[in-house]
Structure 1
Amino acid sequence: MKTRRITRERLVPHTLDGKTRMVPDDEVIEIPLPPRDWDQLALNTVTVIVTLLVSACVVWSTVSIGDLLSRVVVEPAAYGAAAVFDLAWIALMIIEWLARYTPARGNKARIGGYVALIVAMGAVGTHGWLAGDAATGIVGAVVSGLAKGTWTILLDYQAMPLDKRTAAFLQQELAEAGAELSRVPVRRRVTRARALVEAERRALEADRGSADPGRADESADDPDADVLAIRPGAVSTKDAVRIAWDSDIRDRDAVIRYVAKATGRAPSPDTVDRYLRALRIGA
């Protein structure tokens, strides 16, 4: 069995002058090597070969179709458009691979990939026919077909087969995750809309308050302006704190001033704080 040597660090006791400490020390050990995975090596080799085939196909098709289109347009535009023919079916093939766990979603990409391949092969064949060499055009078109076919077989081999129930389960998982993701922009829009409504409401209230002649002598900073006046001494400290809280008065000093005005006597700050804490917990 093959092994390989590795060096690792460990703590060992070391004593000097009767004093022992744990110090780092290097240890060389041998561990067994796993057997070579020839299947994975072969798959990696095939993947490299197919990648080279696709690259050669793109170059061949681009040059061939670009020469065909350069008869009517300038060369940069012609070769740029020519690259689209093969890149289209390559992109659709990648989408088909991404949808391997939900085959129904990959049907359109699969059909579109074959359509794009046929168009590319037709363009390459047309170039050879117009150039006066039909055989070259046919062979060039077959290059794209071989590259596409080989890559499709490789992707089908690497895609794990799923039974019907497992595919349905994964479909539901993806649907649930998609629903959660779709709620993010919706919540963002709802929050923005509510913020706009609240800003407009406050603006309208401010305009209405400044235009009210009966409130001209009230200070805008007076927290008691929106609180209904009551007869001093008619309520308890607890009731006065509750009324201030319900009137959206949250500042402690403002609440104390209102309680003093409502009850006719200065309240205990500790008592007011206790009632406010209870209201905050209840809210």
Structure 2
Amino acid sequence: MTILDSHPQVITLGISSGNLNWACSGVYASPIHVNISLLWNHLCGLADSMSIPWALVGDFNDTLASTEQRGGIFSPSRARHFMDNINSCNLMDIGASGLAFTWFRNFQGRSPVHKRLDCALASLCWRVGFPEGGVEVLPRLHSDHIPLNLRCGKKSGEFRWKAFQEAWHKGGSCILATLNEVKVDSLDFNKKVFSNIFRRKKHIENCLASIQSRLETVDSIALLLQPDKLKKEHHDILAQEEMLWRNRILGLHFPDGNWCDDTETLQLGVIEYFKTLFAETVEVDHSCLPTPGLPFIPSHFLADLEK
């Protein structure tokens, strides 16, 4: 990841995803309308020189339609200007799943205002390069803006190296005992280490999303007060999750002494490691195998085969 361009209202990064190089711009548009024009002048210049797939994510401080706002005064002229800027840069709105609005402000003595100020835009090349990509609107936690999660594709699984390796060696020379240890330890590892934290985190985020979705249609002081306790609990879970992922494998020293942090190379290294592990020649205790034991070919069948 490298910085390709920097501006007071946007930073553009160059990112490598496998064999595909693309650019991602993080946008934080100024609330002053004149400065927003400066932002779009800069983005149009970037669009003219951009030769790789390009995505932009962040707060554009504008809405495209009246349906993207609840409360306050909607400005059709600003919406048209926003759309004209998007078209001038040959970009498209990726859309999003989740909550309808991404910004919330509770003005004292007046009705709350909800807007979709945050969104993700992309070039056609980015859309073609990441056909399964999309945007998820996450629950609002610590800001009046709701975070967006830009996904380039489907979630990938994680390797549970250490837990598997330790379980494999517990069974000793007995294959059945070894496989049983792997099964028991894997289920226990997933339940106690990963699922518990992630399940609690997901539950709280679902509760927050439900409350915030309700507040998009109903003004309620009771609902406004509920998220505070949930946010505190969510913060504690995030601290636990951070400790958990400190041990996540980001890179490895291969047997030749070289350090590797490339995902595809790491996966190939893992596969090769377990190929070697399962191919080891070890003494096997056949007494642990179920009776009547291993299948065999009767001698009279062998004689027929030799004819």
**Bucket of the pairwise TM-score, normalised by the shorter protein:** under 0.3
More strand by proportion, 1 or 2?
A: 2
TM-score, with normalisation over the residues of structure 1?
0.18
**Greater CA radius of gyration, 1 or 2?**
1
Give the number of the structure with larger relative contact order, counting CA–CA contacts within 8 Å between residues 6 or more apart: 2
Superposition TM-score, scaled by structure 2 size: 0.17
Larger fraction in helix: 1
